[in-house]
Chains A and B, each alone.
Chain A
Amino acid sequence: MRLTCPICGARDRREFYYQGEALARPAPGAGAEAWDEYLHLRDNPAGVRRELWQHEAGCGAWLVVERNTSTHEVLGVSLVLDEAQA
């Protein structure tokens, strides 16, 4: 498996750390359900989902990876920081 880091280019999977689904952190007072959703409930779709990865053995950037879990096709990789500014 390979991911194209927006900073370093296409790299082998071994350079990356996998976090999980890309979700927005709820506000402190968002309530138990929102927090449960954020921490524990996952859709596990057979299809496209957005995930967080870190290019740990490369530039260190956290990435949003859009990926098809059935075909393994990677639809896009972007910097979390760029997404936040967009």
Chain B
Amino acid sequence: MVELIAKSPCAGLLPLAIGDVQVVEVDLGVLTSIAPYAGQGGATSDALRAAHGMRFPKLNRATGKDGARAIWFGRDMALLAGPPCDASMAEHAALTDQSDAWASVVVSGAAAEDVLARLVPIDLRQAHFATGHAARTLVKHMAASITRTGPESFLILVFRSMARTLAHDLKEAMEAVAARG
């Protein structure tokens, strides 16, 4: 039997390191969108905790940690990143496999905020967007999910098909920030 070869969204595009900022593609494992049915928010959160050890994230927040994270992903939706979502959760929420739908990158470094200030129309400074905060917003023209994963690092997801544009837009912003010295 022929074997199909997997290719990651940013293959050949990343990593990038310019000035104080690095961009790397990350493999988040299995991505599952979890959308609780009417009145099932609490039950979904309980099931998520029982199965994966984290609560359903509050608005604009992420729970869990590297390797197993639940990221708020929009109105009544979270994205479980890491383990395959426990099937029992389907009782409470619509589960959809998104593992291949998103290009996932981590932007990190001392000037990461400055780079993202060129692309993202929201205030990502630490005082306003702390570790564990998550937002649905834009990266330049692309719909994106942004999560702060550390003092100098952000997890960014855009549609897989836009990976090349993401790499291009980040590179231009990184070069401009680096050139300021």
Contacts and interface: CB of A to CB of B under 8 A. Distances in A.
A11 B137 contact: yes
Interface residues of B, number: 11
Residues of B contacting A: mostly: strand
Contacts of B136: 8, 57-60
Contact of B75 (A14, A15, A61): A61
B121 A59 contact: no
A15 B121 contact: yes
Nearest to A61: B75
Contacts of A56: 143
Contacts of A61: 75
A56 to B, nearest CB: 8
B75 A12 contact: no
B138 A14 contact: yes
B122 interface: yes
Interface in A1-22: 7-9, 11-12, 14-15
Interface of A: 7-9, 11-12, 14-15, 56-61
